[in-house]
Amino acid sequence: MRIDCPLDDGKEYHVTIPDVWLGLHYHAYLDAMESAKDVRGVLQKFIVSIAICDDFHLPGLTGKAENWDLMKCDLRLMVWVSQSVVDNFTSCFVVPKKKYNNTGQLLELMKQTTAGRSQKAA
What's the whole-model pTM score?
Answer: 0.73
Nearest to 8 by CA among 82, 83, 80: 80
Q: Look at 114 and 80; give whichever has higher pLDDT.
A: 80
Q: What is the pLDDT of residue 21?
A: 95
Q: Which residues contact 17 (CB under 8 A, 6 or more apart)?
A: 1, 3, 52, 53, 54, 84, 85, 88, 89
Nearest to 54 by CA among 20, 11, 93: 20
DSSP state of 122: -
List pLDDT tens digits, range 69-102.
999 999 999 999 999 999 899 998 888 777 756 6
Do the beta carbons of residue 49 and residue 82 sit within 8 Å? Answer: yes
Q: What is the pLDDT of residue 100?
A: 59
DSSP state of 55: E
Average pLDDT over residues 34-47: 94
Average pLDDT over residues 101-109: 68
List pLDDT tens digits, range 43-65.
999 999 999 999 999 988 888 88
Do the beta carbons of residue 37 and residue 1 sit within 8 Å? Answer: no
Q: What is the pLDDT of residue 117?
A: 58
